Structure 1
Amino acid sequence: MGDEVIVVAEQGVLEVTINRPKQRNAMTRGAAEAIARAMERLEEDGGLRCAILAGAGGDFCAGMDLKGFLKGELPVDARGGFGGITTWTPGKPVIAAVDGHALAGGMELALACDLIVANRDAKFGIPEVKRGLVAAGGGLVLLPRLLPRQLAMELALTGDPIGAERAAELGLVNRVTDGPAIEAARELALAICTNGPLALEVSKAIVRDSWLWPIEEINTHQNPYVRRVFESDDAKEGARAFAEKRKPEWKGR
């Protein structure tokens, strides 16, 4: 049996591919732990700026491996939760490249990423109720924050999927492509990687963490994040490179 997750680093981008195509990349504990290790590598490696999470064989992830579930196995990592990324994500950006099915935990896996690129034929949904289960990997919490309550409720209670174009209309998907999602995800990743690494991490942190900030306390919470950037060598280099009409040479500090 080959590796359940394939990890390749190139041009500052860590590509993490779920490699169970015959099972539509249904998640196992081993795969979840492997994804978690890849995300820890992204966090720790100064040469990496961004990650892409994809699935092999034309599907992203069809959710939990039900055969494993019946044996008592839950596809979770101790730190990262379902799929190794739903309860903890690295400070650096992660892009989901979705082909085929992103269902149940597969949709929750995509929502745990920071951006989503999808092939036009991709399907998104949380059909757990059809199996007598509950979308416990974050779907029932994230969707009401990302969508109008009634739409989130429809997805949760019917379990019916939506297509990539509808998901894009609702703001769940960044880009819809006619080709393989991984190709469009690579373009997006490289565009991200040209920017200041510290600025990227802080921007991601503010976008994610500010969901919980009271409106009257935004500056109080945001200032410690922003101070790290404005006092950094990268901030000075960015201004200097702009003035000198050249590409910046980022140090990540």
Structure 2
Amino acid sequence: MTFPDAALPIGFGSGHPSEPVVAHILAQHGVQRTPSAKLTLFQKRDFLDPPLCETLIALIDERRRPSTVSDYNGDAAFRTSETCDLDAAHPAVAEVERRLAAFLGLDPAHGEPIQGQRYAIGQEFKGHTDYFEPQGVDFHKYCSIAGNRTWTAMIYLNAPDAGGATRFKTIDKIVQPETGKLLCWNNLRPDGSPNPSTIHQGMKVRAGAKYVITKWFRERPWGFDAE
């Protein structure tokens, strides 16, 4: 794996500052930063080209299943999409991994496998955060090895005919889906604690279908042996 300007990939430990990641992202061409003191959020249009997006959509359709949530809150309609675990050995998925690692400058060892999601008409993901609540019943199950989630990278693979926007509720920022557009944000505050201002929702698709892929990074390497 090579990185721009021969930079070393950035890892994460407890309380690792986010400034090097922010600086690395801002050095990329065409990046837009949302002006907010409450969260760190970036967009980049045309991060993936349409043919690559079409290939990923086909992969999601082959293996999609009902999405799940951690710390279930009793709302069966909280997340109604479908999910697919993408095979890292597939050339299209490997190419996305390469591009994300170069764009973010993060150590690939800290990344979870890429997931794909499909939203049909009426499907949504209500307001949620991507980090795991330290007091949540599933925190130890999901975070004892690799730690909490640090950065999220999400890419729209298409634009549905209507609906399907992503809304960041705290700052009332609505991002419309565009084929190949990347969103990425830091799930933690500068001190390393979870940032509740990252709460966001996948709004209902009103016509057509929406496809996205998501990759999360952790504080420690994915699969790290805590023993």
TM-score by length of 2: 0.27
Q: Return the structure number with greater helix share.
A: 1
Q: Which has the higher contact order (CA 8 A, sep 6+)?
A: 2
Larger Rg: 1
